[in-house]
Chain A
Amino acid sequence: MIPGPFDYHRPASVGDAVKLLADLGDEARPLAGGHSLLPMMKLRLATPAHLIDLHGIAGLKGICRDGDRIVIGAMTTQAELLASAEIGERLPILHETALLIADPQVRYRGTLGGNVANGDPGNDMPALMLALDASYRLEGPNGAREVAAREFYQGAYFTALEPGEILTGISIPVPPAGHGYAYEKLKRKVGDYATAAAGVVLTMAGGKVASCVITLTNLHETPLLATDAANAVIGTTLDDAALKAAASAARAIMQPASDARGPAEYRIHVGGIMVMRALQRAASRAS
């Protein structure tokens, strides 16, 4: 398992990276943490002629507060997210989820940008970005643009990234203080993708759900925003009927593949259970 030959580029700025991508065209791929791309290259399922390593771009790292948003550089690793007190305080669901991604070694290399940008339906962070209504900064030959995470995912490995564009940052609105959150992921073992996973961000008022977003991982070609499921619980006390209605509405939009994690029927079934459990846990954390 050896990658095919390629040329290696290590630009020092986003501008240089974008220029390289523009000049080299389809044959070039940006390299972030590498834990998706390099195994594919070792299997020769990916054979880019040029790799553009983004590790040399200092500006792509870091976590900062920008008003009511937190802006995270695309090359910020899962380990750095976990080490950030700011994230722990304002976006605790990122901590909960990062700990469920791969294993410690992979989290030292794996980046938030890589996780959200490559369009792998098995990745966990995209569903969170949908739940948190994050936006992505995409920089390309025609300048920079912001795209809502909810508009970004088009199909398995198909995203709104245009040729020559790089995802450089993630901007996340800070959820209100006292919000409840949970990411429920069923997986066979450490290092596995989700058999089914659900993320919930909600607020409670007077014992009832005031606002709620539910998102799903690895239950479709793209991460899913389960709007009907969320609507089914807003205004309820999260009683049994509301939970079941949410699970049912969420299941209605799931279309997972049958694979070694189980047949589609099972994955849809447990997908609904992840929704119910995430809702309950999120509500228990809300104040």
Chain B
Amino acid sequence: MNDMTPTREQREAALEGMGCRRKRVEDIRFTQGKGNYVDDVKLPGMLHGDFVRSPHAHARVKAIHTEEALKVPGVLAVITAETLKTVNLAWMPTLAGDVQMVLADGKVLFQNQEVAFVVATDRYAADDGVSKVVVEYEPLPVLVDPFKAMDPDAPVLREDLAGKTVGAHGPRKHHNHIFEWSVGDKELTDAAFKKAEVTIKEMISYHRTHPSPLETCQCVCAFDKIKGELTIWGTFQAPHVIRTVVSLIAKIPEQKIHVIAPDIGGGFGNKVGAYPGYICAAVASIVTGKPVKWVEDRIENLTATAFARDYHMTTEIAATKDGKVTGLRVHVLADHGGFDACADPSKWPAGFFNIVTGSYDFPVAHLSVDGVYTNKAPGGVAYRCSFRVTEAAYCIERAMDILAQKLGMDPAELRLKNFVKPEQFPYHSALGWEYDSGDYHTAMRKMMEAVDYAGLRKEQAEKRAAFKRGETREIMGIGVSFFTEIVGAGPSKNCDILGIAMFDSCEIRLHPTGAGIARMGTKSQGQGHETTWAQIIASEIGIPADNIMVEEGNTDTAPYGLGTYGSRSTPVAGAAIAMAARKIKAKAQMIAAYKLEVHEDDLEWDIDGFRVKGLPEKVMSMKDICWAAYNSVPPGMEPGLEAVSYYDPPNMTYPFGAYLCVMDIDVDTGVYKVRRFYALDDCGTRINPMIIEGQIHGGLTEAFAIAMGQEIRYDSEGNVVTGSFMDFFMPTAVETPHWETDFTVTPSPHHPIGAKGVGESPNVGGVPAFSNAVNDAFAFLGATHIQMPHDYWRNWQAAKNLGVVA
């Protein structure tokens, strides 16, 4: 070898494969303002649409007067439900099996509901038109409190469902009832509670909030009358699903619909569903024959397109006196707003909430969920979590703390005592999941050591004593959270959306010069897929990541996929990428064997090519194999080097983590300060640690916001009182704490590269850590459970209720 021959380490490094902190490909354009987001799409003759929205939460629509609006210069059309009825689109199906008004049909069910769609030559004229549409309303009694939804005299919200005693998920008990979903063994669970030595019961609410990505929901629809084709650029986390849904409801053949999700400015679940804006823009384009753009403003975003959570979870744990859990019983009241537009796999009306047994070995458990209608915006979406998993994690992590308090045990010790043990994996939970892998004790102990948990508790004891002596007005809380997520939806045996199995896909084409393009059914909204997907391919087939272009979001070119949400991209598409790469590698091996004149079995893989076993100098690099694939393949073999994989995962993945939050609260003002936040995550194999850390920072920040104040709040008349960034808590760099990250690695045994997904873990684990810290701070004063969000005034109110402020 001469000096120029790269070492193995250099060859490995040149690939920038898995495990490498590869800098992001996307950043070159984003840092120069050259991203291409939906609102950047500008087409000749493009029109703009804007909504007239209801000021009332519940009202009959008596009349809509459009005459004055149509006189506004530039206004071309005002679309109402009556217009949409002519094309049978006044209502649309939701992902949850319900139907939703596209435009108010006879009544409105929530404030800011879409009533009419004004189409004009530009966004200024459209807004002028909106201001001139006059709608006559007759206000109706408003239902805001979900606990009153099933009162006998509760107002009837959904008149369209009159007489329907069965919904998409079984019987309906009341005119405002949507579904009841139950799982687990009720009899055994009830029996466990009967003989329990210790029980706790608490109604744990997870308030309504909103994902609120910085870019709102938007689209451009362009209908070509000659070809009969509809092209939609949109903020879509799942572009193929949008194509299929549009085809089904608009009756346009699917091959004539082209959906393009360009760069997306964050999604967090907000951009999974189909919204009236998309339908109206499409109809407007069909009617006018011109492209129509719809761009939501922030107030519309917060008040109309989706919400998250609004789960009210009555939780009971049975346990022995020495702290071994023996049963879990949970009833959830789920507030879905005016329409059930929950974005869950179709058979799962409460998502995967049955992960609520968490990281603990509950011998028996029972869960039931009742969904109800209220006069609020429809949803709910999974805001940076797999379907209802963050609600479940919050529920169990709060309940375990409440149990620890009742038992007088340390919450970390109680968790260690009840964890599923490493040797129990694969573990079958009492509510029906098969946890693929985990090592909870190691993660928990690593966290406790890293933060000096014992030292913190000692400091806390001293501070509590000082508080009681009147020497300080500050209380210290230590929030422990140990979460198990369920992500990677999902196996076709239990996951589909409108009948489409939740597989994902990858197509890789290698070019003669040793470069290639790879396309997936997923769609990055900031996760950095263009960077990380190429890293998987680089490690699998030895082509430098820089030579692989990753493309997502164009339904004409990408293989069908179910999109990016629920931390499913790495578990599902990540596996498809590895499998497609392995198909290529298998063919490459045949080509190499032919060229090196040996038998395939005599070859072994070596970083970036094949070498003959025992003859390390006899090698063929992937670069050379690529050329050969287009030049001299073995007789009988088709030329080319490409592969497609559709991956149906055998199981979900179960990332987990141990988080700790230390918080100080001034009881006189309720002002808190997060002193320390430590997050240990186990997401299995780590593809790009830099991106993982970034995801965790971001998810923790969202968790911080949600736990400490981010709320979609309604007054008793159904008016949203937190409908802009003034009142909807969106922390800046000043409020946001400093984050410490750490990890363990327990690869998924069933995933081709052992990866589990990470984007949502910090939100799932973070919220209980913050909330437990607040609750822990107040616990010594006699509090058992203080509801979120923990904003200043509520902390003060808690202190007041406990009698420590006058």
A–B interface present (Cβ within 8 A) = yes
Q: Are A190 and B792 within 8 A (Cβ)?
A: no
State whether A189 and B729 are in contact (beta carbons under 8 Å apart), knowing that A2-B127, A4-B128, A270-B669 are contacts in the complex: yes
Task: A192 to B128: give the CA distance in the assembly, Å.
Answer: 30
- How does the 8 Å CB contact mask read for A251-287 relative to B, with 1 for contact and 0 for none? 0000000011111001101100100000000000000
Q: Are B793 and A266 within 8 A (Cβ)?
A: yes
| Interface residues contributed by chain B, number (CB under 8 Å) | 31
B722: interface (CB < 8 Å): yes
Q: Are B713 and A270 within 8 A (Cβ)?
A: no
State whether A190 and B797 are in contact (beta carbons under 8 Å apart), knowing that A5-B128, A270-B669 are contacts in the complex: no
B791 contacts which chain A residues (CB < 8 A)? 188, 262
State whether A189 and B731 are in contact (beta carbons under 8 Å apart), knowing that A1-B299, A5-B128, A260-B713 are contacts in the complex: yes
Q: Are A266 and B797 within 8 A (Cβ)?
A: yes
Q: Are A259 and B732 within 8 A (Cβ)?
A: no
B147: interface (CB < 8 Å): no
Q: Is the contact region of chain B dominated by helix, strand, or loop, or is it mixed?
A: loop
Q: Taking the nearest CB of chain B, how far is it from the CB of A177, in angstroms? A: 33
Interface centre among B299, B713, B726, B727 (most CB of A within 10 A): B726
- How does the 8 Å CB contact mask read for B440-482 relative to A, with 1 for contact and 0 for none? 0000000000000000000000000000000000000000000
Q: Are B671 and A186 within 8 A (Cβ)?
A: yes
Q: Are B128 and A191 within 8 A (Cβ)?
A: no
Q: Are A188 and B669 within 8 A (Cβ)?
A: no
B805 contacts which chain A residues (CB < 8 A)? 269
Q: Are A190 and B735 within 8 A (Cβ)?
A: yes
B732 contacts which chain A residues (CB < 8 A)? 103, 189-191
Q: Is the contact region of chain A dominated by helix, strand, or loop, or is it mixed?
A: loop
B726 contacts which chain A residues (CB < 8 A)? 191-192
A123: interface (CB < 8 Å): no
Cβ contact of B669, chosen from A4, A103, A186, A191, cutoff 8 A? A186
B734: interface (CB < 8 Å): yes
Q: Are A262 and B793 within 8 A (Cβ)?
A: yes
Q: Taking the nearest CB of chain A, how far is it from the CB of B2, in angstroms? A: 57
Question: Which residue of chain A has the shortest Cβ distance to B797 in the bound complex?
Answer: A266
A145: interface (CB < 8 Å): no
A195: interface (CB < 8 Å): yes
Q: Which of A82-113 contact B (CB under 8 A)?
A: 103
A44: interface (CB < 8 Å): yes
B713 contacts which chain A residues (CB < 8 A)? 260
Question: Which residue of chain B has the shortest Cβ distance to A187 in the bound complex?
Answer: B792
Cβ contact of B131, chosen from A4, A186, A263, cutoff 8 A? A4
A2 contacts which chain B residues (CB < 8 A)? 123-124, 127-128
Question: Which residue of chain A has the shortest Cβ distance to B709 in the bound complex?
Answer: A188
Q: Are A189 and B671 within 8 A (Cβ)?
A: no
Question: Which residue of chain A has the shortest Cβ distance to B671 in the bound complex?
Answer: A186
Q: Are B796 and A269 within 8 A (Cβ)?
A: yes
- How does the 8 Å CB contact mask read for A150-165 relative to B, with 1 for contact and 0 for none? 0000000000000000
B721: interface (CB < 8 Å): yes
Question: Which residue of chain B has the shortest Cβ distance to A122 in the bound complex?
Answer: B726
B730 contacts which chain A residues (CB < 8 A)? 189
- How does the 8 Å CB contact mask read for A187-215 relative to B, with 1 for contact and 0 for none? 01111100100000000000000000000
A44 contacts which chain B residues (CB < 8 A)? 131
Task: A267 to B669: give the CA distance in the assembly, Å.
Answer: 9
State whether A189 and B131 are in contact (beta carbons under 8 Å apart), knowing that A259-B721, A270-B796, A273-B668 are contacts in the complex: no
Q: Which of B727-754 contact A (CB under 8 A)?
A: 727, 729-732, 734-735
Q: Taking the nearest CB of chain B, how far is it from the CB of A129, in angstroms? A: 24
Cβ contact of A262, chosen from B127, B297, B792, cutoff 8 A? B792
Q: Are A260 and B722 within 8 A (Cβ)?
A: yes
Q: Are A195 and B721 within 8 A (Cβ)?
A: no
Task: A191 to B734: give the CA distance in the assembly, Å.
Answer: 11
Task: A186 to B732: give the CA distance in the assembly, Å.
Answer: 16
Q: Taking the nearest CB of chain A, how far is it from the CB of B614, in angstroms? A: 66
Cβ contact of B734, chosen from A190, A195, A263, A270, cutoff 8 A? A190
Question: Which residue of chain B has the shortest Cβ distance to A276 in the bound complex?
Answer: B668
B709 contacts which chain A residues (CB < 8 A)? 188
Task: A195 to B669: give the CA distance in the assembly, Å.
Answer: 11
B299 contacts which chain A residues (CB < 8 A)? 1
Interface centre among A192, A259, A273 (most CB of B within 10 A): A273
- How does the 8 Å CB contact mask read for B754-794 relative to A, with 1 for contact and 0 for none? 00000000000000000000000000000000000001110
Task: A94 to B755: give the CA distance in the assembly, Å.
Answer: 55
Task: A5 to B72: give the CA distance in the assembly, Å.
Answer: 12
Q: Are B735 and A189 within 8 A (Cβ)?
A: yes
B127 contacts which chain A residues (CB < 8 A)? 1-2
Cβ contact of B727, chosen from A5, A260, A266, A273, cutoff 8 A? A260
A190 contacts which chain B residues (CB < 8 A)? 732, 734-735
Task: A12 to B717: give the CA distance in the assembly, Å.
Answer: 48
Q: Are A195 and B792 within 8 A (Cβ)?
A: yes
Q: Which of B99-142 contact A (CB under 8 A)?
A: 123-124, 127-128, 131
B669 contacts which chain A residues (CB < 8 A)? 186, 270, 273
Task: A92 to B124: give the CA distance in the assembly, Å.
Answer: 44
Q: Are B734 and A189 within 8 A (Cβ)?
A: yes
Q: Which of A1-36 contact B (CB under 8 A)?
A: 1-2, 4-5
A195 contacts which chain B residues (CB < 8 A)? 792-793
Cβ contact of B796, chosen from A1, A5, A260, A266, cutoff 8 A? A266
Q: Are B671 and A261 within 8 A (Cβ)?
A: no
Question: Which residue of chain B has the shortest Cβ distance to A269 in the bound complex?
Answer: B796
A5 contacts which chain B residues (CB < 8 A)? 128
Task: A235 to B793: give the CA distance in the assembly, Å.
Answer: 34
Task: A162 to B298: give the CA distance in the assembly, Å.
Answer: 36
Q: Taking the nearest CB of chain A, how far is it from the CB of B71, in angstroms? A: 14
A266 contacts which chain B residues (CB < 8 A)? 670, 793, 796-797
A192 contacts which chain B residues (CB < 8 A)? 726
Task: A261 to B797: give the CA distance in the assembly, Å.
Answer: 13
Task: A103 to B726: give the CA distance in the assembly, Å.
Answer: 12
Task: A4 to B297: give the CA distance in the assembly, Å.
Answer: 16
Question: Which residue of chain B has the shortest Cβ distance to A196 in the bound complex?
Answer: B669
Task: A259 to B715: give the CA distance in the assembly, Å.
Answer: 10
Task: A4 to B128: give the CA distance in the assembly, Å.
Answer: 7
Q: Which of A133-148 contact B (CB under 8 A)?
A: none
Task: A2 to B668: give the CA distance in the assembly, Å.
Answer: 42
Task: A259 to B709: give the CA distance in the assembly, Å.
Answer: 14
Cβ contact of B721, chosen from A103, A260, A263, A273, cutoff 8 A? A260
Task: A154 to B455: give the CA distance in the assembly, Å.
Answer: 56
Question: Which residue of chain A has the shortest Cβ distance to B125 in the bound complex?
Answer: A2
A261 contacts which chain B residues (CB < 8 A)? 793
Question: Which residue of chain A has the shortest Cβ distance to B300 in the bound complex?
Answer: A1
Q: Taking the nearest CB of chain B, how far is it from the CB of A106, in angstroms? A: 12
Task: A195 to B709: give the CA distance in the assembly, Å.
Answer: 14
A263 contacts which chain B residues (CB < 8 A)? 793
Q: Taking the nearest CB of chain A, how far is it from the CB of B44, in angstroms? A: 22
A1 contacts which chain B residues (CB < 8 A)? 127, 297-299
Question: Which residue of chain B has the shortest Cβ distance to A193 in the bound complex?
Answer: B726
B792 contacts which chain A residues (CB < 8 A)? 186, 188, 195, 262, 270
- How does the 8 Å CB contact mask read for A116-130 relative to B, with 1 for contact and 0 for none? 000000000000000
B725 contacts which chain A residues (CB < 8 A)? 191
Q: Taking the nearest CB of chain A, how far is it from the CB of B670, in angstroms? A: 8
B797 contacts which chain A residues (CB < 8 A)? 266
Question: Which residue of chain B has the shortest Cβ distance to A192 in the bound complex?
Answer: B726
Residues of A that sit less than 8 Å from B by CB: 1-2, 4-5, 44, 103, 186, 188-192, 195, 259-263, 266-267, 269-270, 273
Besides A188-B791, A189-B734, A259-B727, 16 more A-B contacts (Cβ < 8 Å) are A2-B128, A189-B730, A189-B731, A189-B732, A190-B735, A191-B725, A191-B726, A195-B792, A260-B721, A260-B722, A263-B793, A266-B670, A266-B797, A269-B805, A270-B669, A273-B668
Q: Pick 20 A–B contacts, CB within 8 A, sort by A.
A: A1-B127, A2-B123, A5-B128, A103-B732, A186-B792, A188-B729, A188-B791, A189-B732, A190-B734, A195-B792, A195-B793, A260-B713, A260-B722, A261-B793, A262-B791, A262-B792, A266-B793, A270-B668, A270-B669, A273-B668
Residues of B that sit less than 8 Å from A by CB: 123-124, 127-128, 131, 297-299, 668-671, 709, 713, 721-722, 725-727, 729-732, 734-735, 791-793, 796-797, 805
